[in-house]
Amino acid sequence: MVSRPPVLLSTKLRFAFRLLVVLALCGAWAGADLAFGSAQTPERQFLSMLGLLAWLLAFLIGILCWRRDWRQVRYCALIAPLLCLGSCAGVTGIGTAVRRSQFERQLPRYQALVDQMEAGSIPVSLSPRAIALPASDRDLAYGVLAQKDTNGLVTVEFMTGYGFPVIHSGYLYVSSGAVQPGSVFDSRWPAKTPVKQKWFRISD
């Protein structure tokens, strides 16, 4: 039986340890980022920023693995940096899916509030005004702004997330299906992504 040289064994053990550290750091970042994506608060944003630092450290370790261990483990040395890059794409996609799932689950409650505003059960003025939500619906948004113009078109802004220094996000309902260029809501939200007919994901 041919024993492996001690140096090779030591190299592979160091490589395996670095790979485990990279995996743990990427996992910490992924957990923090997904938590912030599902519910945006300053506290979770802070954890997400710490998670990003962990990811950067993981990527540096991955580059170290590639440069130091290439001769001994060859293509296995690429596992760590590729794991870091793959986690970026994976977390981004999963985060988007989580937010979409949350919105779809809560959409009937959002729509019920909008229907009440369009029917006049919840008064809405000609200029944008804050709307107080019933206690049973306050988990949907921390702030609501609504407007009904002279043509009866209703626009409702549900603010669901916030962070620092100036980061807000939420959902915008527009009964016409299109945000009017130059309107108050158009200027308030530079980023507007359609998520459903008449509904937009908004952020600043």
Closest CA to 55 of 24, 76, 90: 24
Confidence of residue 73 (pLDDT cuts 50, 70, 90): low
Helices (H), the chain: 6-38, 42-73, 79-119, 184-188
Q: Which pLDDT value is given to residue 66?
A: 73
Q: Is the pLDDT of residue 63 over 80?
A: yes
State how far Cα 82 lies from the chain centre.
22
The pLDDT tens digits of the residues spanning 139-189 come to: 899 999 999 988 889 999 999 887 766 578 899 999 999 998 888 999 999
5-28: average pLDDT:
75
The pLDDT tens digits of the residues spanning 90-136 come to: 887 777 788 888 899 999 999 999 999 999 999 999 999 999 998 89
CB-side neighbour CA atoms (13 Å) of 27: 6
Contact 45/167 with Cβ under 8 angstroms? yes
Q: Which residue has the higher pLDDT, 4 or 31?
A: 31
Q: Which pLDDT value is given to residue 1?
A: 47
Give all strands of the β-sheet with 191-196 in edge-to-edge order. 129-130, 143-148, 154-163, 167-174, 199-203, 191-196
Residue 204 CA to residue 202 CA, distance in Å, equals 7
Q: Enter the pTM of the model.
A: 0.71
